[in-house]
Structure 1
Amino acid sequence: MVSVAKNAGSKPAAWGAVLSMALCVAMLIASEFMPVSLLTPMAKGLGATEGQTGQAISISGLFAVAASLLVTTVAGTWNRKWVLVTMTAFLLLSLVLVAAAPNFAVLMTGRALLGICIGGFWALATAVIMRLVPQSDVPRALAVMYGGQAIAAAFAAPAGSYLGGLFGWREVFWALTPIVAVNLIWHVVALPPLPAHQKQDFRAMFGLLKRPYFLRGLAACMLSWGSAFTMFTYLRPFLEQMTGVDVTMLSVLLLLLGCAGFVGTWAAGRFIKGNVAPFLKLPALVMGGATVGLLVLGFSVAATGLFMAIWGAMNTMFSVIWMTWMSQNADDAPEAAGSLMVAVIQASILLGAVVGGLLLDGISIQATFIGSVVLAVVAFMLIGNGQHMLKSA
């Protein structure tokens, strides 16, 4: 049981609300990246190529970028609790549209709606966490919230590929809807009132962009995430073509990747505190290195499982590392910083899905993974020791 901490105003920290947000994170991650584990059957069912179907991820990223930049301005002074509730309602509607989609256009409409939910939720998430717990507990609360990412990574992809093989890809999306409905109710009950301190506008975002250390951090974050999702979006075709796995082994490998995420979540909560600079280069270094390992030894199931586990552990640490950096280096404008961070991350997901799909359809799956490694190398070189990305630099 999580011990009850105290806010500055002597109110107990809202850990129940943090857990509710963690469940929402799990559903967002599961919904956003379920096409990764179902890419092949979805492509066949919709009469499209795998590269084209991968754009179902990119379209959600495109709308997430727009939503993340606009949500705080459009929401104005509306209580942030009800903004989060609305975003979760959008998630529920998106799942229904995708599951029932009679054609590719309706599927993309559902994915676009999901993008609005993703951008709106993530733009506010870190700022809300900073209001739910004391400052000293923010890294731990972020680790708890991103524990939802580990849960989704552990079970969504392998369950999606396995159940999709048994029942069909539509039924997998239908299965998520009752969980999101419960989460919607939990938000209403658990989240405390979160009135906006003031109406947000774009000036706060522009002000952050004028800070060299923050701009460098955004660029490094985008390159790191772009590398990760150039690889991850097209992981199933790689495993099928290079490793030669069937649906059962695919599910086992995805489960291994996801379960490794729990190790990353534990490590993030335990070790990420104080100066975050030394950790900033780890995602690009470790995940890029794992991708190189897959390129070289991807023909071996055992080696593939090892590198996927390494990649999965760092994947869950990734978010905690960069959101902790944001909370420490833009604590005077957390909502504006959150909007920019989410826009950058979603733009990198969009970049990864588009570029990876073009490389896959135009050249080969190996070219897609090489593109991922190139982005990781550039990110690592930009970050260096991370000190020039701190506001004290």
Structure 2
Amino acid sequence: MSLTKAALREKEGATFRMWLSVLTVSLGIFSMITAEQLPVGLIPAISSELNVSIGSGGLTVTIPGVIAAFASIGLPLAVGRLDRRILMAGLLAVMAAASVISALATNFPVLLASRLLVGITIGGFWAIAGSIAVRLVPGPSVPRAMTIVFGGVSAAAVLGVPAGTIIGDLVGWRGAFWSLAGLSFAILLAALLVLPKLEAAQPVEVKALRAQLRNPALLSGVVATALLVAAHYGAYTFVSPVLLEVSGVTAGSIGWLLLGYGILGMIGNAVAGVWAAKSVGRTLACIVIGLGATLALFPLLGVTPLTGTILLLVWGFAYGAAPITLQTWVLSAAPESAETATAIYCFTFNLAISVGTLATSQIVDTMGVNRVLWVDSAILLLVLLPVCRAPILNRNIGNS
């Protein structure tokens, strides 16, 4: 009996460590996405202290996106079969160092240099997170593990960016970066303590990338991803100036409003997960129409704190549904090459963030935030073109 109890305790301990490892990877994703989007709520304060324009402040989001795009493919190719546990720990160490540099930055070029390091960590982590989750748990538990790991993305929108904005409002934008440095270091220690050795099973190869670039269904998904993400982030990067200038909200309330945005985003993610499995095309069309209408109407209707808040919440719900829908499209287009297709998707996603923010940075400085919202609304409508032309979207994904 004692042996049976001992074996049971050992099994329970192994199960606990397994899920603790999954949670650690999720926290890593949380820290990466928080780091990428943290300046969104801090741009007015950063621009004021470092004496740059609001549009130039948007480069703090543009630069990590560009670097992350290339790192999401280049880093997995470069490291080959390096133990993924060591790779993850190294990326977290770089993230912590980058956050310290950001907090200590005495001028804007130094801040941008630190954001370059952030981009490397984001791209590298995105590229390996999914494969790590799959290898940490047995087959039947993989869906739950993936949900937990990529739940870090939604959690960053709900907690990370709003918390950083609130901290920035209370103790200054540098305090937000110091907090991120502490979080990254804590997750680094957890990764070294709880993650098992994870040798690369099937590293991404150039041959596989070339093959998927000839996949028409995947390419349509890539085009849709590029347009939607560029349009969204082109507008979202400047959501703080929009709320201040168009809706007239107070600076102290922005963090709380972004918290509401994130919560509605999580709800949108949950709803879209069910709908996209039945029909990616109809789900994405609804997202595009809803998101485009929200951006177009914001300068016209969001001119009070109340109406601005309502439109921001609708915005959060609509965009929150987008990533899982796009990911469903990509995976259904390349079910036997999921890791390679995901690398291409991550490259497109991050590059689109940079292109969108860079383009709209110029519009903000020359034409104002209202024009940014209208331009991005028009770009969103272009997403309907690949949606209508991709035959794979007419199938029930769950049965394909």
* Structure 1 and Structure 2 fold alike (TM over 0.5): yes
Displacement of 1:17 after TM fit?
Answer: 2.9
Displacement of 1:320 after TM fit?
Answer: 2.2
**1:162-218 alpha-carbon deviations (Å, 9 max, x no partner):** 332331110111012222112112223343433222453222111100111111111
Quick one: distance in 1 between partners of 2:158 and 2:254? 13
Q: Name the % identity.
A: 27
Quick one: distance in 1 between partners of 2:203 and 2:16? 27
Displacement of 1:287 after TM fit?
Answer: 2.1
Q: Does 1:162 align with 2:178?
A: no
Displacement of 1:329 after TM fit?
Answer: 3.0
Quick one: distance in 2 between partners of 1:290 and 1:168? 31
Which of 292, 310, 313 is the matching residue for 2:317?
313
More displaced 10-residue stretch of structure 1: 347-356 or 282-291: 282-291
* Unaligned residue ranges in structure 1 (runs of 5+): 1-10
Displacement of 1:115 after TM fit?
Answer: 0.2
What's 1:74 paired with? Answer: 78
Which of 377, 381, 392 is the matching residue for 2:381?
377
1:313 to 1:137, Cα distance in 2 relative to 1, 3 A: farther
**1:119-153 alpha-carbon deviations (Å, 9 max, x no partner):** 11112223333444566765554433332223222
Bigger Cα Rg: 2
Query: 2:232·2:376 contact (CA, 8 Å) conserved in 1?
Result: yes
Which of 36, 43, 46 is the matching residue for 1:42?
46
Query: 1:124·1:338 contact (CA, 8 Å) conserved in 2?
Result: no
Instruction: Trace 1:107-126 onto structure 2 (pairs within 5 A).
Output: 107-126=111-130
1:327 to 1:291, Cα distance in 2 relative to 1, 3 A: same
What's 1:261 paired with? Answer: 265
* Unaligned residue ranges in structure 2 (runs of 5+): 1-14
Quick one: distance in 2 between partners of 1:90 and 1:116? 9
Query: 1:281·1:385 contact (CA, 8 Å) conserved in 2?
Result: no
What's 1:368 paired with? Answer: 372
For normalisation by structure 1, the TM-score amounts to 0.89
Displacement of 1:85 after TM fit?
Answer: 2.1
Could you tell me which amino acid in structure 2 is paired with residue 352 of structure 1? G
Query: 1:143·1:269 contact (CA, 8 Å) conserved in 2?
Result: no
**1:308-342 alpha-carbon deviations (Å, 9 max, x no partner):** 11222233332222223333332332332222111
Query: 2:162·2:255 contact (CA, 8 Å) conserved in 1?
Result: yes
Displacement of 1:92 after TM fit?
Answer: 1.1
Query: 1:22·1:146 contact (CA, 8 Å) conserved in 2?
Result: yes
**1:90-116 alpha-carbon deviations (Å, 9 max, x no partner):** 211111111111221211111000000
Which of 226, 230, 233 is the matching residue for 1:229?
233
Which of 316, 322, 337 is the matching residue for 2:326?
322
For normalisation by structure 2, the TM-score amounts to 0.87
Which of 132, 146, 149 is the matching residue for 1:145?
149
Displacement of 1:13 after TM fit?
Answer: 11
What's 1:4 paired with? Answer: none
Displacement of 1:225 after TM fit?
Answer: 0.7
Which of 16, 20, 27 is the matching residue for 1:16?
20
Query: 2:98·2:117 contact (CA, 8 Å) conserved in 1?
Result: yes
Quick one: distance in 2 between partners of 1:194 and 1:275? 36
1:359 to 1:138, Cα distance in 2 relative to 1, 3 A: farther
For the residue of structure 2 that corresponds to 1:256, the secondary structure is helix
Quick one: distance in 1 between partners of 2:282 and 2:139? 21
Query: 1:123·1:341 contact (CA, 8 Å) conserved in 2?
Result: no
